[in-house]
Amino acid sequence: MEWIQFDGSPFSARQTFTCGQCFRWAPQPDGSYIGIVRGTPAQVWDAQGKLCVQSPGPAALWRAYFDCDTDYTAIRQSFAVDAFTAAAAEFGKGIRILQQEPWEALCTFIISQCNNIPRITGIVQRLCEQLGKPLPFAGQVWYTFPEADTLAALTPADLSGLRAGYRTPYLIGAAQAVQSGALDFDALRGMSTAEARSHIMQLRGVGRKVADCFLLFGLHKLDAFPVDTWMKKAAAYYSGDMKRFLDSPYAGVYQQYFFFYTREHYR
């Protein structure tokens, strides 16, 4: 199994995997990360700002997942309009918005509400270990993300071991909506961001923040702009008008620069 190096905008594995958009990439002692995407494992690292991937999966899968064909350098330049945003853009220049599998993204952000990253990661890991399929890779056993059909047939009591609390019925409800066809990810992709947001918020347990995270990270609608505690802190530290960024087609990328810079500097 050979590894592939991708050219393109600067990439940082640590920044991309720890900026709050995903919860299934496990850091390794050598600085790389291992994860599973659409049932395919990979070990990922960066070398001199370039994305490196070792995986049995095709290069096309990883090119799409890591959004290699988007010019993030140009996006950063459009974001850097003053000293604060220029510093944030430079600090987070290795971030890519991952093109995640929509069902997995929906579940993980339902779990994320009123939660912190270590606890979210633990719940998601237990969910995969309990209901996913084992997948040997790099001398360890990993687990795929469970299908919606699997969760749809369960009760909250069946998932008590996840320790997800009040979020558990929301996960089962979302799975049942996918299974029944009431929730169609392909249809959502074809909608405007506002239309898709309105539709997904009809699910029990999906408010504005979870909806926008799902739209940005699950459907790759880059104009979605999630607002959480760290974004509120960013607004307090930023002396400019943050609203000017909301109407941009890259508002979600700007959000990640704000989020990551503020979280790392103003803990």
133, 209, 221, 243: the active-site residue: 209
Q: Which residues pair with 4 in a beta bridge?
A: 53
E strands present in the chain: 3-6, 26-27, 33-37, 40-47, 50-54, 134-137, 140-143
Residue 153 DSSP symbol: T
Coil/strand/helix, residue 130 = helix
Residue 152: enclosing H or E segment and its boundaries? helix 148-152
Residue 261: enclosing H or E segment and its boundaries? helix 251-265
Q: How far is CA 150 from CA 46, 65, 178, 224, 237, in A?
A: 35, 24, 11, 29, 44
Coil/strand/helix, residue 103 = helix
End-to-end Cα separation, the chain, in angstroms: 41
Coil/strand/helix, residue 230 = helix
Judge whether 233 counts as a catalytic residue: no
Catalytically active residues, by annotation: 209
